[in-house]
Structure 1
Amino acid sequence: MTRKTITILIVLAILLSLSSMTASAKTNENEKVPVLITFKGTTDADLVKAHGGNVKYEYTIIPSIAAELPQKAIEALSKNPNIGIIEPDLQGQILEDEIPWGISRINADSAQTIGFNGSGTTIGVVDSGIDYNHADLAANYLGGYDFVNNDADPMDDNGHGTHVAGTIAAADNGFGVVGAAPGAGLYALKAVDETGYCSYSDIIAAINWAVDNDVDVITMSLGGTGYSSTLKNACDHAYANGIVIVAAAGNYNSEVIYPAAYDSVIAVSATDYYDNKASWSCYGPEIELAAPGVSIKSTLLGGSYGSKSGTSMAAPHVTGAVSLLLCTDVAGTVYDTDSDGKWDPAEIRSRLHSTATDLGTTGKDDYYGYGLVNAFAAVDGLSLADPEENAPEEPLADPEEDDSTTSPETPEFSEPSMVMYVSSLEVTTDLIVRGRKNYFVWGEAEMRIVDINGNNVEGATVTGDWSGLVSKTVSGVTDANGMVVISSDHLKNPEGEFIFTVTDVSLDGYEYDSSENLCSTDSAEY
């Protein structure tokens, strides 16, 4: 298939997507569509403007422009010999489930006790921003940019980015939690809005900023299922400029999403407390490393703390391990394969591969990649790049004194085989409106798990199937009230039923008896 044919197909896809809008509304040929335009040579913003386009970004690391164009302009510009491809400006979203322990599991606390804390390294957190006033994050916050609102104040208005930032670099200050690399510097690159959604153009702009500002690591706990050559080019350029890129694999129990699936990005899957792949974690040959992603305690908005699950929570563990490794001295070691005296992205990846704790099938596999990231093993035997600069000013606190560095104890139950069941199940719908004509709807299944005596059961994994408008197997973990809320995928302008059916409930020391369920299936129509 030729590039011209691909371009034509993409143009047709854009036009067809427009023609499928509500039948009662006539397509407005002057309505502008968000696109990414890649030029064969130098970008030409004037050309785009001459065709009625509104230029959003003119990138400096790749010959591409993000803009909004009328339908006719897309067709006309696609024939311009100076333009390589025009593709939709797709949407991604942050990748959390619901519902804290991973730092000690990857041995980051052990690395910290021998002096490695990430000091001197910088990390660009491409997410929903950071609550830079949080007591556990303020000391390591370096600045950033808000690409959603186009200003220099990347304050988090969602909470996802703040949680990710805490897992990477929450300060070792005697309270709260400790991150994997508590000495690392954090840049907040806000590409995600308050609802959890982001455009590929804003992600690319954040990567562009990171390259221009010599950031060491980019971490992205977000993504989408749509491939974009422009986003790939941006990642490849950052990688070629010496930036290590880490991204979450996705929470759909299917193929790895983008940008994690690109070759220049470290794709991270999620594991549970027992080192098994989380049921919802995406998998495939792109998976490079695994990390804890279930019930991870970290920083939240307003100076608080809480737990979340998802590959979004796994990726920052790997990011922290990268930071710890970057503050070691590679010069003169066998790991400096190009003998340039500094860590390169390929050398970082190779070291993390060889020191990972193998899980699953022996060797690299689709679930865990090379294995569970092992921060201590990665830095063991190496010295600090600059001991005077990187050594912490104060002694590290005993990791046992911090919630995030202690492994949770297996719950103890007075009765070894207590029966549990579903005491309530209710499916509702929710929506967000984007633009003037489109709305996105999803189903939410809220249920309570109790034991045979009617007591709430905390920590039970509830698995179920969405059907009707969506088809997907999902799971969640009950809170202290025995409650769990499991959401479906978001659908654009749907019409029909969201149906949820509980298929299993599991927890050590309990036996699930579906015959006791007061409700196993519920639905909501939209």
Structure 2
Amino acid sequence: MGVTIGKQTKLLVMLMIMFFLTVPASAAQEKQEKVPVLINFKEKTDTELVKAHGGNVKHEYTIIPAVAAELPPQAIDALSKNPKIDFIEPDGQAQILADEIPWGIARIDATAAQSAGVTGNGIKVAVLDTGIDYNHPDLKANYLGGYDFVNADNDPMDDHSHGTHVAGTVAALSNDIGVLGAAPQAGLYAVKVADSSGSCSYSNIIAGINWAVNNNANVITMSIGGTASSSTLQNACNNAYNNGVVLVGAAGNSGGAVIYPAAYYSVIAVSATDSTNTKTSWSCYGPQVEFAAPGSSIKSTMPDGLYGYKSGTSMATPHVTGAVALLMSTDIAGTVHDTNGNGKWDPAEVRLRLQSTATDLGASGRDNYYGYGLVNAYAAVRDLSSTPVDDPVVTPPESSTPVVMYVGELSLEQQSKVSGKNTFGWAVATVQVVDADGKTIPGASVAGSWSGLTAAAVSGTTDANGVVVFTSAQVKKPKGTLTFTVTGITCDEYAYDPTQNAYSAKSVTF
């Protein structure tokens, strides 16, 4: 096989390879630039194999069989053909998401939860950000340690301010000074993945998730993100979720589609509201949004013992994180909410409780702007022994009329490789099936067809995220159009309505 690179970035990496192969030898020797990549192995990682191809290993992960490395461009194709390798993709870039914020703590009723004796005690929150000023008088007592993946040391001091601000909203102390956090007795891990400019690589985010899982964090909060999807990052989030960690992520500040990692099903995506409970103009939105929270002019802790205001979905996210910490510090054992009977809050149980107690905003029910609504910390921790609200995630409503489903997202990515003197091209179609509330539907059977450069009828079943992927046959020396069309969807208790599809077909031209 040729180079396996994540979707939209495939062509870019190939161009980079061509560039490095065509520069004069003297220039190449002077620069010796290497491409940052994420290398996924089929089974165990093999750092010596990477080094043998001239690579520098940056991180070796334990929650997924992958490493972050820098490779010479010409080595990518050779290494990808090794039978130990599953796929290689570029190391994406993410940014912190802030402008300039503690009315928000009162708005989500965190103070009422604290008055009821629920403070987040015993819960460990990993803040993946620019670090934390762990000497701040409003944070110091809750600091549990951490790691700096930017400078590769054990001193995750904040050299920006963003991470300190996020940490304060989560867990600033109730100490009669400064501000009050949502969960003032929760422990804080400072996991520095972003530098002093607010930039961070996906590989550092994955390393931060890896560290948090290995250090028994209960919650990971990520007020960071990028626009490109990464299979490696998604796998890391999914594995952390499956290990019992709740992940919370910022939806983004561009006013467009939800960014990554918040857009992954295993991450709770948070949009931002202002003081009137209205989604801010800059907050990203879409079917992935699960909750809304205050994100405009939020006051919180700043480095050097100071306080200041910031705005962004970065500021909304720690409000939800704090609510999660409050809920997880309560005793679920023996209640109807402990659906698997293990005596502890699992991610799915946390999400269900927060969904069923959120204050509905916008259109009735879940919507793309506010998700299930404004997170309500006090409602979530109150009357836990009572019967829960009907599961809004898994159980379709009882009705003689089937629930409507349709294609919520359809993307088509062009792929190509060079083998010998020939170029081969193909396409990858990704289909997401959702219901009328924007909830993804696992287990749906999707039928489709390829037409144009190659023709075939295909079918597949959506995964836990409501997604199914189809890959076309490879075409030698492609020249023309390749189209994928969704021809039908079936699922028990659902009725397919193609008139509501975001797209029923998409094409790419070679």
TM-score, normalised by the number of residues in structure 1: 0.70
Structure-1 separation of matches of 2:7 and 2:146? 38
Q: Distance in 2 between matches of 1:14 and 1:295?
A: 40
2:28 maps to what in 1? 28
Distance 1:308 1:7 in 2: 34
Which residue in the other structure is 1:326 paired with?
328
Q: In the alignment, what sits opposite 1:13?
A: 12
Find the partner of 2:139 among 137, 151, 163: 137
Task: State the partner residue of 1:496.
Answer: none
Q: Which residue of 1 aligns with 2:300?
A: 298
Equivalent residue runs for 1:50-449 within 5 Å: 50-98=52-100, 100-382=102-384
- In 1, the alpha carbon distance for the partners of 2:61 and 2:152 equals 15
* Residue 99 (structure 1) shift: 6.4
Cα drift, residue 24 of structure 1: 10
How many Å apart are 1:331 and its aligned residue? 1.1
The verdict on how the C-alpha distance between 1:154 and 1:288 changes in structure 2, with shifts beyond 3 A counting, is same
Q: In the alignment, residue 349 of structure 1 is paired with which amino acid? A: R
- Provide the residue aligned with 2:506 in structure 1: none
Deviation at 1:96, TM superposition (A): 0.2
1:497 is matched with: none
Q: 2:436 — aligned with what?
A: none
Q: Please tell me whether the aligned partners of residues 11 and 86 of structure 1 are also in contact (alpha carbons under 8 angstroms).
A: no
**Cα deviations across residues 1-55 of structure 1 (Å, max 9, x unaligned)?**
x99776798554313146679x999973852110000011111111100000001
Alpha-carbon distance between aligned partners in 1 of 2:354 and 2:222, rounded to the nearest angstrom: 18
What SS does structure 2 have at the residue aligned with 1:86? strand
- Cα separation, partners in 2 of 1:58 and 1:305, compared to 1, 3 Å: same
Which residue of 1 is the match for residue 496 of structure 2?
Answer: none
Where do residues 501-520 of structure 1 align in structure 2 (5 Å cutoff)?
Answer: none
Give 1:339 shift: 1.1
What is the CA–CA distance in structure 2 between the aligned matches of 1:8 and 1:121, rounded to whole Å? 37
The amino acid that maps onto 2:115 is T
**Which digits, 9 at most, give the CA deviation of each residue in 1:289-309, with x for residues without a partner?**
000000000000110101100
Amino acid at match of 1:301: P
Structure 2 Cα separation of the partners of residues 5 and 221 of structure 1: 29
- State how far apart, in whole Å, the 1-side matches of 2:4 and 2:207 are: 28
Distance 1:163 1:64 in 2: 32
Gaps of 5+ in 1: 384-526
Cα offsets for 1:497-519 (capped at 9, x unmatched): xxxxxxxxxxxxxxxxxxxxxxx
Check the 8 A contact 1:10/1:86 in 2, yes or no. no
Q: Which amino acid aligns with 1:316?
A: P
C-alpha change, 1:49 and 1:299, in structure 2 (3 Å) is same
Distance 1:338 1:10, change over 3 A: same
Aligned residue identity for 2:13: I
1:375, 1:9 → 2: CA distance? 39
Partner Cα distance (1:218, 1:10) in 2? 27
Identity %: 66
Residue type of the partner of 1:346?
Answer: A
Worse-matched range after superposition: 330-339 or 250-259: 330-339
CA contact (8 A) 1:8 1:78 kept: no
Q: Distance in 2 between matches of 1:108 and 1:182?
A: 10
Aligned length: 381
State the Cα distance separating 1:252 from its structure 2 match: 0.4
Provide the C-alpha distance between the structure 1 equivalents of 2:265 and 2:271, rounded to a whole number of angstroms: 15
**Offset of 1:75 from its aligned partner?**
1.0
Aligned partner of 1:378: which letter? A
Distance 1:157 1:173, change over 3 A: same
Aligned partner of residue 304 in structure 2, secondary structure: helix
Q: Secondary structure at the match of 1:189?
A: strand
Distance 1:146 1:4, change over 3 A: closer
TM-score using structure 2 length: 0.72
Q: Measured at CA, do residues 276 and 7 of structure 1 come closer, stay the same or move farther in structure 2, by a change above 3 Å?
A: closer
Distance 1:53 1:171, change over 3 A: same
- Kept in 1: contact 2:17–2:74 (CA 8 A): no
- In the aligned structure 1, how far is the partner of 2:7 from the partner of 2:28? 21
Letter in 2 for 1:312: S
Moved more, 79-88 or 200-209: 79-88
- Deviation, 1:233, is 0.6
Instruction: For 1:190 and 1:348, locate their aligned partners in 2 and report how far apart those are by CA, in whole Å.
Output: 26
1: CA distance between counterparts of 2:271 and 2:295?
8
Q: Structure 1 counterpart of 2:377, which letter?
A: A
Assess, with a 3 A threshold, how the Cα gap between structure 1 residues 86 and 10 changes in structure 2: closer, same or farther.
farther
Native 8 Å contact 1:118 1:323 kept in 2: yes
CA-atom RMSD in angstroms? 2.1
Whole-angstrom CA distance in 2 between matches of 1:11 and 1:78: 13
Q: 1:273 and 1:18 mapped to 2: Cα distance?
A: 50
Assess if the C-alpha contact under 8 Å between 2:34 and 2:71 holds in 1.
Answer: yes
- CA shift, 1:79, in A, is 1.4
State the shift of 1:333 in Å: 1.2
- Report Cα offsets for 1:96-149 as digits up to 9, x if no partner: 023652000000000000100001100000000000110100010010000000
Change (3 A) 1:44 1:109: same
